[in-house]
Chains A and B, each alone.
Chain A
Amino acid sequence: MYDFFAAFSVLELVLFSSWYDFAAVRWPTLRGRRRLGAMKSPLICEGTGEPTKVCAVAIRTNQEGDYASLVVSGSFDLAHAKQVAQAVEKVEEGLSRCRSIDIDLVHLERIDGTGAILLARLLDRLDVEGRNTRVANNQNPEAARLIALYRERRTEHMRPKPSGRNPAARVGAFASEMFGGGTVALDFIGRCAASLPKVIASPKSVDWRSLPRLIQEIGADALLVTSAANLLVGVIIGFLGVSQLGRFGAVAFVPELVVVAHFRELGPLVTAIVVAGRSGAGLASEIATMKVTEEIDALRSLGFDPVRWLVVPRCLALVVTVPLLTWVGDLLALVGGLAATTAITNMTFHAYLQATLDDVTASNLFAGLIKSPFLALAIGLVASGQGLLTHGGAAAVGDRTTTAVVQAIFCVIVISAVFTFFFALIGV
Chain B
Amino acid sequence: MPRSKHHIIVEELRIGWGTKVLIEHVTFNVERGTVFTILGGSGCGKSTLLRYLIGLEKPQAGRINIAEVGEPHHYEGMPPFGVLFQSGGLFSSMTLAENLALPLAAWTPIRGQTMRKLIQAKLDLVGLGSFADHLPGEISGGMKKRAGIARALMLDANLLFFDEPSAGLDPISAVELDQLILTLSQDLGITVVIVTHELSSIFLVADDCILLDKQTRGIVAQGDPRKLRDESRIPFVHNFLTRSSPNGGANHGG
Contact = CB atoms under 8 A, between A and B. Distances in A.
A in complex with B: yes
Interface residues of B, number: 30
A205 B102 CA distance: 11
B91 A204 contact: no
A304 B89 contact: no
Contacts of A90: none
Interface stretch (B22-30, B34-42, B226-234, B242-250): B242-250
A29 B105 CA distance: 53
A297 interface: yes
A301 B250 contact: no
Interface in A28-56: 29-31
Nearest to A303: B79
Contacts of A300: 55-56
Interface string A196-217: 0000000011000010000000
Nearest to A152: B247
A31 B85 contact: no
Nearest to B107: A303
Q: How large is the interface on A (under 10, 10 to 19, 20 to 34, 35 or more residues)?
A: 10 to 19
Contacts of B245: 30
Given A301-B54, A303-B77, A293 B106 contact: no
Interface string B103-142: 1011100000000000000000000000000000000000
Nearest to B85: A294
B64 interface: no
Would you list the 8 A-B pairs with minimal beta carbon distance, nearest first? A298-B89, A30-B249, A294-B89, A301-B83, A294-B85, A303-B79, A302-B103, A294-B87
13 contacts: A210-B93, A293-B89, A294-B85, A297-B56, A301-B54, A301-B79, A301-B83, A301-B89, A302-B79, A302-B106, A303-B76, A303-B79, A304-B106
Interface in A226-279: none
Given A302-B102, A303-B106, A297 B51 contact: yes
A298 B85 contact: yes
B15 interface: no
Given A295-B91, A301-B56, A303-B77, A31 B247 contact: yes
A303 B78 contact: yes
A286 to B, nearest CB: 9
Contacts of B76: 303
Interface string B68-85: 000000001111010101
A32 B189 CA distance: 47
B250 A293 contact: no
A303 B56 CA distance: 11
Interface of A: 29-31, 204-205, 210, 289-290, 293-295, 297-304
Given A30-B245, A302-B102, A304-B106, A294 B86 contact: yes
A204 B249 contact: no
A298 B90 contact: yes
The B contact surface, by secondary structure, is loop
Contacts of A303: 76-79, 103, 106-107
B100 to A, nearest CB: 11
Contacts of A29: 249-250
A253 B141 CA distance: 65
Contacts of B54: 301
B179 interface: no
Given A295-B90, A297-B56, A303-B106, A31 B249 contact: yes
A295 B77 contact: no
A50 B93 CA distance: 66
Nearest to B89: A298
B183 interface: no
A299 B102 CA distance: 10
Interface string B127-165: 000000000000000000000100100000000000000
A302 B54 CA distance: 10
B92 interface: yes
A293 B76 CA distance: 23
A241 B222 CA distance: 80
A300 B103 CA distance: 11
Contacts of B105: 204
Nearest to A292: B87
B56 A204 contact: no
Pick the most buried of A204, A293, A297, A301: most chain B CB atoms within 10 A of its CB.
Answer: A301
Given A29-B250, A293-B89, A298 B83 contact: yes
A205 to B, nearest CB: 8
A353 B71 CA distance: 68
A294 B90 CA distance: 8
A394 to B, nearest CB: 13
Contacts of A31: 247, 249
